[in-house]
Amino acid sequence: MHADRDREILIVGAGAVGLGIGSCLIGPERRVRFAARPETAAALRESGLVRSGIFGRVVAKPDAFDAVAGLDALPRRAVDRILVCVKSYDSEAVARALAARPWLLHEQTRIVLFQNGWGNAEVFAGHLPRERVFAARVITGFRRHAANHVDVTVHAAPIHIGSPFGCDAAPLTGLARAIDAGGLPCRIASDITRDLWAKLLYNCALNPLGAILGVPYGALGETAPTRAIIDGIVREVFAAMAAAGYAAHWADADAYLADFYGQILPPTAEHESSMLQDLRAGKRTEIDALNGAVVKLAEKEGIATPVNAALANLIRFLEAKRHGAP
């Protein structure tokens, strides 16, 4: 019913996640366009897009899609779906840029955020109608081998798409089906907020600790000292959630930790933290949207989260050290 509104797709950001999601959507029935950094856009236009990894190999030739150097280079016409695949610290800039280009949006345009962290939807809703803003929960590992080549390394659960503001997600059924048919399992979710908290729990528990210690996720669950830190992270996240009036899919931290060690962690045991990859590359991390966001929320509610605060500060130290700050 909504397939006619999934033909023109703009993907903002062509990092590992943007390339991975985009690889599922390229085809004759849709016009896919990436708004990317100039060097990435040039590589895509010259060599096409390649996806490899656990869901098989996909090669899209350069003439099967389009790539432009940033939002300023977009043709002046509306699109059906805008998939935001930038880092969380770029949310404000991208939200402002989209709001400044109202010609991109028609009545049925929907914006879907394929991002890590907490608070991205609220940033976009601050500049655009919240009934247009949706979120995707992605627990899939992507690694970019080249500007135009992404590898799918691990996959823990289907991508979920839904509204953090209680709006009808049915118009995005066609998009979810297209991503699913393109190789990445994807579903519409009735309660995306709980899904986003589930991902935040996972990322807060593993991302910074894996980055600080320089080990894959599985190693963090193998020893008592690292498990004690993970337990502390999770218990603080649950305390912050409860204080702010949010809920997850689990009744309490104990229930989550039982699932975490028994079911959630094992499928991604070999994956390295994206935060570790960012630090190695000398890039800014998303710590402020992960453990930093938990600390900020907890402070607002008048509770302490010392374990999350310590990890956030350690990552900020490593960021500054890589950038040569004193």
- Domains of the chain in start order, with CATH, are 3-190 (3.40.50.720), 195-322 (1.10.1040.10)
Spatial distance between the Cα atoms of 268 and 291, rounded to a whole number of angstroms: 20
Helices 291-300 and 192-213 pack at an angle, to 10 degrees, of 120
Hey, what amino acid is at 139?
I
In order along its 326 residues, the chain shows pLDDT tens digits of: 344 578 999 999 999 999 999 999 999 999 999 999 999 999 999 999 999 999 999 999 999 999 999 999 999 999 999 999 999 999 999 999 999 999 999 999 999 999 999 999 999 999 999 999 999 999 898 989 999 999 999 888 899 999 999 999 999 999 999 999 999 999 999 999 999 999 999 999 999 999 999 999 999 999 999 999 999 999 999 999 999 999 999 999 999 999 999 999 998 898 888 899 899 989 999 999 999 999 999 999 999 999 999 999 999 999 998 766 55
Q: How far is CA 305 from the centre of its chain?
A: 24
Alpha-carbon distances of 24 from 56, 139, 148, 315, rounded to whole Å: 11, 16, 14, 33
Give me the phi and psi of 107, to 5 degrees please: -60, -35
pLDDT value of residue 5: 73
- Tell me if 222 sits within 8 A of 213, measured CB to CB: no
Radius of gyration of the chain (CA): 19
Quickly count helices (H) and strands (E) in the chain. Answer: 12, 10
Which sign, positive or negative, has the C-alpha torsion 274, 48, 23, 97? positive
Contact call for residues 205 and 273 (beta carbons, < 8 A): no
CA distances to 134, 161, 165, 194, 251 from 190, rounded to whole Å, are 12, 9, 11, 9, 18
Instruction: Compute the Cα dihedral for 21, 26, 32, 33 and give only its sign.
Output: positive
Instruction: Give the catalytic positions in this structure.
Output: 199
CB atoms within 10 A of CB 251: 10
Beta bridge mates, 59 = 50
Q: Report d(CA 128, CA 113) in Å as an integer.
A: 13
Residue with tokens 């309490």: 252
| The model's pTM | 0.92
Locus of tokens 């509306």: 78
Query: From CA 192, how far away is CA 303, in angstroms rounded?
Result: 25
